[in-house]
Chain A
């Protein structure tokens, strides 16, 4: 595999690559061009204005505010989601009953596997609608439960509260994604070689030590890929927010870049500017992917 290997690989991929170029790359190139025009979207008239849209974007407070909300999502949701997924996967795959390290999980794992995956089966849009009812201040389940246990001081108009609206949305995202990453990480854990675990046990490592020193390092690749995947989802989040808080939340505290982009295009009729936002978002996404992939590079373990 030295000489001409790329050509060799590409020959297999010619047709999908062609489709990809036509349907993905070319719209992107068009978007970059449109982002340098003042196109309003519903006529062929457009003038080339260079980087004026980008200059405006740099000074657009609402854009940066939306970007900040995406950044918060990007920090909180993947960490919590992967943390929970990792914990659950560990408990049901390698937590091992006494004397069977690296095999099977705690008692009832089969049942738990089904339960954990269930939220992933519910489409995000439907989850958004359901949680809308859940957060309903008067008739909602959440405040109802809080009142039941006497925590009346905790009840709030969750989606109408500038402090809690975004965390409330994050909770829905976490609830929805844990199932999928639970599957991913469980599968990754099951493919770990058992001899390493056995060696760790022989060396006298306990459950927690094994988890920190063996499981996590061997899952680095899966975790990185999961983080990138989740990160890309967090930089979007359009569907859920459009269902739950279509107008940007209380005092605009939950508006994300994708919603701002949509609004620039369809309510302001500024498709040129909206394209500039899209291109900026794409750059951020690529940078994120590259940074995460390069993070913590070390000698790779292949098994």
Chain B
């Protein structure tokens, strides 16, 4: 036994040092690069002409940053080639990453952002934040510019319905969502043919069909409760909007008092409650990730699944070859609906922006114009088996069943497409309030009334919250 020495001994010193080192957690990460930014930059300018409607400086470099996710970045390389062909003196820089927010943050703060940014993926920069901070150039000049293929047609005239609304914040068009995603109900055609089932167009038909499906020993619906319960809301709110018209969604987006208490919205939520009560959702769905739920669905354990049109791509190699994934619009509440049965929810995704303080804003706009040319858009369709947001793109891709059925559904819908913005304007509300409460509803922990009153009161709270930038449409 030694008497403890006063002051510092070897062990104590090492231990204190160790604790000091360990006591470092994640707080430092956020501030790793938060120093002062630069002033406004002057963007490169060229002479405006018929060939160069956006005034691109022929020798200015172009810095393109692409989110390399489900669509890869091959299409972007092709678009960059188009740009180089048009402006041989320009140096084009290409960056592909999945860590958009983390990698772009220091560049936005320091005032040297890229000229074109594909702001997408799980690590995207929150749209509302970018818009509120004034970091996106107004794309109005692009909208009024002639298309590459026909000088008499303006870019704004070839955008598919909803693209303009989706990218507009406070009356300014700031983001070009390049992929035209649809949100139908999905099912396996052979399975339905085998049983003689028809996709429902009204809620009553849906309930009747669910009963038949359940009797056949299959769960009517599946969902991924741990991270994607909100997909089911496409059904609930989709039915409501089809019944009552686009105004229904507008009220919700504008956070109006009583928006969630609209009759059709309540009816849409009650429908979900009834489906839960009757056991129309695959048991255990609340404990599944979306990937697991989708896997169970393609294995034939469930009949319906709601998701965006990327679903087929996501299940490539997992779905059996004869699955024949097929899209159908969500039903309306009843036959007297404001929108026709063919109406479809579409929400353009993959937001391309030209940062306001880019060195070559005009070049960035020109790049987007090239993306929307027949050649650029068709190549995208071919490489990604997805529908781009512009008219007249020939899908040279091998048409897959899902792509074919979505294209057919879009054609049938025509201009009767609808969506809501609340999920992109107020992501945090959507995730931490709506998705959470929907999870509770689907797991039978709350009923429709509780859902409505909770979401309404949180919506009112959000409307009054000074810290969240608000948008109106």
Q: Which residues of A are at the interface with B, using a C-beta cutoff of 8 A? A: 1, 5-6, 9, 20, 24, 27-28, 30-31, 33-34, 38-45, 62, 132-133, 135-139, 156-162, 221, 225, 228-229, 232, 235-236, 238, 244-252, 258, 261, 263, 265-271, 273-275, 277-279, 281-282, 285-286, 289, 293, 299-302
Contact = CB atoms under 8 A, between A and B. Distances in A.
With a 10 A CB-CB cut-off, give which of A33, A44, A279 has the most chain B CB atoms: A44
B379 to A, nearest CB: 31
B50 interface: no
Given A263-B431, A282-B24, 6 more contacts: A1-B7, A28-B27, A44-B38, A225-B15, A269-B126, A278-B27
19 contacts: A1-B8, A5-B8, A24-B28, A27-B31, A43-B37, A62-B432, A132-B292, A137-B287, A138-B301, A157-B288, A160-B285, A160-B286, A221-B11, A225-B18, A244-B226, A258-B26, A266-B123, A281-B27, A289-B23
Q: Is the interface of A mostly helix, strand, loop or mixed?
A: helix
Contact of A248 (B1, B225, B432): B432
A250 B286 contact: yes
Contacts of B15: 221, 225, 293
Interface of B: 1-2, 4, 7-8, 11, 13, 15, 18-19, 21-32, 34, 36-38, 101, 104-105, 108-111, 123, 125-126, 128-130, 132-135, 225-227, 282-289, 292, 296, 301, 427-428, 431-432, 435-436, 439-440, 443, 445, 467-468
A137 B37 contact: no
B276 to A, nearest CB: 13
B109 A228 contact: no
User: Which of B108, B135, B288, B445 has the most CB atoms of chain A within a 10 A radius of its CB?
Assistant: B288
Contacts of B129: 40-42, 268-269
Given A30-B34, A34-B30, A41-B129, A245 B226 contact: yes
A251 B19 contact: no
B28 A27 contact: yes
Given A28-B27, A159-B226, A281-B27, A43 B288 contact: no
A258 B25 CA distance: 9
Contact of B25 (A228, A246, A282): A282
B105 to A, nearest CB: 6
Given A232-B25, A245-B226, A251-B440, A266 B7 contact: no
Contact of B428 (A24, A38, A41, A263): A263
A275 B31 CA distance: 8
A162 B315 CA distance: 29
Given A42-B109, A43-B135, A279 B27 contact: yes
B31 A30 contact: yes
A158 B135 contact: no
The 4 closest A-B pairs by CB, nearest first: A137-B284, A278-B27, A44-B37, A160-B286
Contacts of B109: 41-44
B152 to A, nearest CB: 39
Contacts of B22: 228-229, 232, 289
Contacts of A34: 30-31, 34
A132 to B, nearest CB: 6
Contacts of B34: 30, 34, 39, 271
A248 to B, nearest CB: 7
A10 B29 CA distance: 27
Q: Which of B13, B27, B427, B431 has the most CB of A within 10 A?
A: B27
A43 B428 CA distance: 20
A160 B28 contact: no
B285 A293 contact: no
A294 B379 CA distance: 67
Contacts of B21: 20
Given A258-B25, A273-B467, A263 B439 contact: no
B28 A31 contact: yes
A236 B129 CA distance: 26
